[in-house]
Amino acid sequence: MTTAAPLPASGLIPLLCEARSRTFDLVSDLSEEQLLGPRLAIVNPPLWEVGHVAWFQERWVLRHWRKMPPSLDRGDALYDSAKVDHDARWDLPLPNSRATFDYLERVLDRVTASLGEREPGPQGTYFVLLALFHEYMHSEALTYTRQTHGYPMAPLGDLAPSDHGARGTERAGGDARIPGGKFQLGATRDLPFVFDNEKWAHGVEARPFSIARTPVTHEEFALFVEDEGYQRQELWTEQGWIWRSRMGAHHPAYWKRDIGGGWQRRHFDEWVPLEGRLPVTHVNWYEAEAFCRWAGRRLPTETEWEIAASAEPTPDATRLADRKRRFPWGDEPPSFQRANLDWRARGPVSVDALPAGDSAFGCRQMMGNVWEWTSSDFTPYPGFVPDPYEEYSQPWFGDHKVLRGGCWTTRSLLIRNTWRNFYQPHRRDVFAGFRTCAL
């Protein structure tokens, strides 16, 4: 394990409290029935998920780091995701919502009191941030769940309004030409915290390529649907066609025809007209790959994606320079003007928006708005060693695909150019889209 750069308790406690407040925002309006929700293979019961968040924080910060006893005797049997089968989570003797929410509050109180007693140092900072970022990821997953079940958008009224530059911008498009050269793929050791699957930066030799400046839009994907892309087997991989046939899919998830023959999409519990310049969302890897074949394009590899997001060209633009950016626009942290993150827009914004967030090559919205599928399998980097939370990456190598860049619900403190997300190729619940490369 590489310990995190130490942070003072005074800096960590407000982050922990804000994350817990957001977790409550995402579930506190739901009924007991909604907190269990329908039994589905792709999402968890929200009641189980928030209990798991508290259990994880207690396990790593209090029990592992501070060597304190658990506050819930049967917590391991209920909430250890590595040992509790997904399908069994609806049948567990879960505490009711009030008891679960009390557990969330009790664990946070114990953690903040512990930090108040002793500064965390590098090792303590690592485990506090591990639990914090884990909660960030589950708050995003809870948003997926609300969308999947058709629940209303969570009441997040404390968010400051921002138009994210979504109005009055010129239409973006075309390809960015990326030169070849040597590139350091992965996280560098100067970052304050990274996950094990990002470790460590290692040299790769990249060939020149061309990548779309924006993600694929609703209007572009609708052309694929109208051209019977879902009915043409030659456009699909073998496994993709098996999935399409089994699901009977004829269009992206949450689309339907309106009475005039156009398209609508479901945004949580509301049906809205399909906005042409918004990025297509809730498409899986198979659908993205089929679109690319139809369009005479391809998905980028994760190496190409990271180069387009973080590299810079030499002055003559013939090679990749040595410098690598933490975010597409540079090393400054995300802002409302650069990236659609943190639920601020309460959904995706136009692909033309946020020019201030462009990469050095003019690629837009490589951070936030929608996760982007890549062609790459999720595999370890050279010399991979699992961190203490061994179940985070290692069990999923080989049968998942890599996504990059974050989406509108991703927390800005979590995301960076080297961050690797990973899902199985059939998943449509994720706020995921894609951009394409020239063949």
**Residues 185-199: tens digit of each pLDDT:** 999 998 889 999 999
How far is Cα 220 from Cα 226, in angstroms, rounded to an integer? Answer: 10
Q: What is the pLDDT at residue 160? A: 55
Amino acid identity, position 178:
I
The pLDDT assigned to 3 comes to 67
CA dist 116 → 4, 5, 176, 229, 356 (Å): 19, 19, 50, 58, 39
204 phi/psi in degrees, rounded to 5: -130, 155
> Phi-psi region for residue 137, left (φ > 0), alpha (ψ -120 to 50) or beta?
alpha
The pLDDT value recorded for residue 168 is 43
Burial class (CB in 10 A: 0-12, 13-18, 19+), 88: exposed
First to last CA, the chain: 40
Ordered by where they begin, the domains of the chain are 9-149 (1.20.120), 164-439 (3.90.1580.10)
pLDDT, tens only, 17-47: 999 999 999 999 999 999 999 998 889 999 9
Q: Which residues of the chain have pLDDT under 50?
A: 166, 168
Q: Which residues of 139-148 are buried (b: 16+ CB within 10 A; e: fewer)?
A: bbbbbbbbbb
Measure the CA dihedral 152/153/157/162, to 10°. -150
Three-state SS letters, 292-325:
HHHHCEECCCHHHHHHHHHEEECCCCCCEEEEEC
Q: Going by C-beta distance under 8 Å and a sequence separation of 6 or more, which residues neighbour residue 389?
A: 60, 130
- The sign of the torsion formed by the CA atoms of 236, 238, 241, 243 equals negative
